């Protein structure tokens, strides 16, 4: 049994809090088919089977459980770097059979009696977080911190508060089945689904679900402004879109920091960034020293778009393996020491718990602002960003390197994890998907 599964058992033993207004722990309709699954119809879905092991399984398709539910025929989903943390077992409280996927779009197939704003057949994109629409945070559109969709007691004890429930992202965030499947149940569907206008293809609208909102939140929450030099750790899709948004906000230069040259080249070609490959640094050079060579006194802003699980030194690798820390402080420390005094550092990559050797001295003495950007409040941004797509101010398809089938997701996860085949971002089609839109990559099968 892995640590993540053991944590799920602990939560079952201590029990949930009583704050949730929607049923928890329906990570697969097969958990109780009589209550959650169609009696005869099935679907393909990607399921977490254990650390390092995901499989496409045939499972019951979901049904309406609560009167604000919507059932979608999934027309598109994707794989996020955050999904890899589940594959690696870095996020606690996964259970065998949990359906993955927090970014998806689709068509309304069924709806509960209290969903007046949607009709069967509507094209919609889902928010990756599940908001009730009525609590203190939801009324401010700070949907990622909804008070009523996640009753996990362990999360509350660790963080001093709840995040919202999230699709396909463990029982730690409520235990909701994800959208890397042919169907998905959306609780509070009247709130958590945005209609897709005619003229906007699924291949663009899909990314309103997470990556477009998350990267925008990272840039504006950290306070990128005109003339800033911005350094971004992580040249994946989030980092790539952060670069675009930084330029929109007036940044004069954007420097990508990564160890994979093709990713640096991909973003440089698409977004006009500079590159720092820390895998090729010479003896005695560091990321900090190199950035201070590239920019007098260092960048104004640093954005963390990687994650806390990727230790670089043997010391942190050993501490993480022994459970002495859950996340490494190395990337955050690099950001703190790299930026100018009174610079700003934003953390958007996933950090789940605790870290050692944090350079609080540099933070305090140099007046560096360290900002946890949080899980991005999608509802705060997605209407604005949809308009930007329509106006061609942003182009989501520039991230997308591959179009794949839901049937091949098991292989896709491992290719994406290994950074092979120049796989930057995928669009996952199902039997319900429309033909590829203009600019979408051709289908790749594995």
pLDDT digit string (tens) for 112-152?
999 999 999 999 999 999 999 999 999 999 999 999 999 99
Cβ burial, residue 402 (10 Å; 0-12/13-18/19+): buried
Cβ 426 vs Cβ 400: under 8 Å:
yes
21-44 mean pLDDT: 97
Q: Is the pLDDT of residue 408 over 80?
A: yes
Q: Which residue has the tokens 């589940």?
A: 86
- Give how far the C-alpha of residue 116 lies from the chain's centroid of Cα atoms, to the nearest Å: 29
pLDDT of amino acid 90:
84
> What percent of the chain has pLDDT above 90?
89
One-character DSSP codes across 394-416: S-GGGG--EEEEGGGHHHHHHHH
pLDDT category of residue 323 using cuts at 50, 70 and 90: confident
Cβ 378 vs Cβ 213: under 8 Å:
yes
Helix, strand or coil, per DSSP, at residue 196:
coil
Nearest 5°: phi and psi at 421? Answer: 60, 20
In 51-112, alpha helices (H)? 81-87
Tokens of 113: 């009696």
Helix, strand or coil, per DSSP, at residue 19:
coil
pLDDT category of residue 3 using cuts at 50, 70 and 90: low
pLDDT of amino acid 7:
77
pLDDT of amino acid 314:
83
pLDDT of amino acid 311:
82
Q: Is the pLDDT of residue 192 over 80?
A: yes
pLDDT category of residue 91 using cuts at 50, 70 and 90: confident
Q: Is the pLDDT of residue 2 over 80?
A: no
- Give how far the C-alpha of residue 283 lies from the chain's centroid of Cα atoms, to the nearest Å: 35
Q: Which residue has the tokens 């990556």?
A: 211
Tokens of 390: 């329509």
Residue 372 backbone class (left: φ over 0; alpha: ψ -120 to 50; beta: rest): beta
Q: Is the pLDDT of residue 165 over 90?
A: yes
pLDDT of amino acid 266:
96
Q: Is the pLDDT of residue 172 over 90?
A: yes
Cβ burial, residue 72 (10 Å; 0-12/13-18/19+): buried
Output b/e per residue, 120-157; b: 16+ Cβ within 10 A: eebbbbbbbbbbbbebebbeebbbbbbbbbbbbbbbbe
Across the chain, mean pLDDT equals 95
Q: What is the pTM of this model?
A: 0.95
Q: How far apart are CA 45 and CA 28, in angstroms?
A: 9
49-56 contacts at long range (C-beta below 8 A, 24 or more positions apart):
49/96, 49/97, 50/2, 50/5, 50/96, 51/2, 51/4, 51/87, 51/88, 51/89, 52/87, 52/88, 52/89, 54/87, 54/100, 54/409, 54/410, 54/413, 55/410, 56/406, 56/407, 56/408, 56/409, 56/410
pLDDT of amino acid 72:
98
pLDDT category of residue 1 using cuts at 50, 70 and 90: low
pLDDT of amino acid 322:
84
């Amino acid at each position: 049994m892995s640590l993540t599964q053991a944590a799920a058992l602990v939560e079952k033993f201590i029990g949930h809090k009583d704050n949730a207004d929607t049923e928890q722990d329906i990570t697969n309709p097969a958990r109780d088919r009589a209550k959650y699954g169609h009696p005869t119809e099935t679907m393909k879905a990607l399921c977490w089977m254990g650390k390092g092991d995901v499989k496409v399984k045939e499972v019951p398709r979901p049904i309406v459980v609560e009167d604000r539910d919507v059932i979608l025929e999934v027309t598109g989903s994707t794989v996020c770097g955050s999904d890899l943390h589940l594959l690696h077992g870095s996020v606690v409280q996964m259970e065998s059979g949990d359906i993955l996927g927090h970014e998806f779009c689709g068509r309304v197939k069924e709806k509960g009696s209290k969903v007046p704003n949607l009709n069967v057949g509507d094209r919609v994109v889902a928010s990756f977080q599940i908001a009730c629409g009525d609590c203190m945070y939801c009324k401010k559109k700070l949907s990622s911190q909804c008070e009523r969709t996640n009753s996990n007691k362990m999360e509350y004890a660790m963080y001093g508060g709840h995040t919202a429930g999230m699709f396909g992202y463990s029982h730690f965030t409520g235990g909701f089945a994800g959208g890397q499947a042919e169907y998905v149940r959306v609780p509070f569907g009247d709130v958590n689904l945005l209609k897709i206008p005619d003229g906007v293809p699924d291949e663009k609208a899909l990314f309103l679900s997470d990556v477009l909102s998350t990267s925008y939140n990272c840039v504006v929450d950290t306070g990128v402004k005109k003339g800033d030099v911005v350094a971004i750790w992580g040249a994946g899709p989030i980092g790539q879109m952060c670069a675009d948004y930084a330029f929109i906000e007036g940044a004069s230069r954007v420097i990508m920091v990564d160890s994979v040259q093709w990713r640096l080249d991909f973003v440089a070609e698409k977004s006009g960034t500079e590159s720092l490959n820390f895998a090729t640094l010479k003896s005695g050079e560091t990321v900090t020293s190199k950035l201070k060579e590239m920019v007098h006194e260092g960048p104004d802003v640093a954005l963390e778009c990687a994650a806390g699980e990727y230790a670089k030194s043997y010391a942190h690798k050993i501490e993480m393996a022994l459970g002495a820390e859950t996340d490494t402080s190395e990337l955050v420390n690099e950001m703190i020491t790299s930026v100018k005094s009174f610079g700003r550092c934003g953390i958007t990559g996933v950090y789940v718990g605790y870290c050692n050797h944090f350079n609080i001295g540099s933070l305090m003495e140099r007046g560096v602002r360290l900002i946890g950007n949080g899980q991005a409040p999608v509802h705060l941004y997605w209407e604005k960003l949809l308009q930007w797509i329509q106006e061609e101010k942003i182009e989501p398809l520039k991230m997308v390197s591959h179009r794949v089938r839901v049937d091949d997701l098991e292989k896709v996860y491992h290719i994406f994890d290994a950074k092979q085949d120049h796989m930057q971002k995928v669009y996952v089609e199902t039997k319900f998907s429309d033909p590829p839109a203009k600019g979408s990559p051709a289908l790749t099968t594995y």
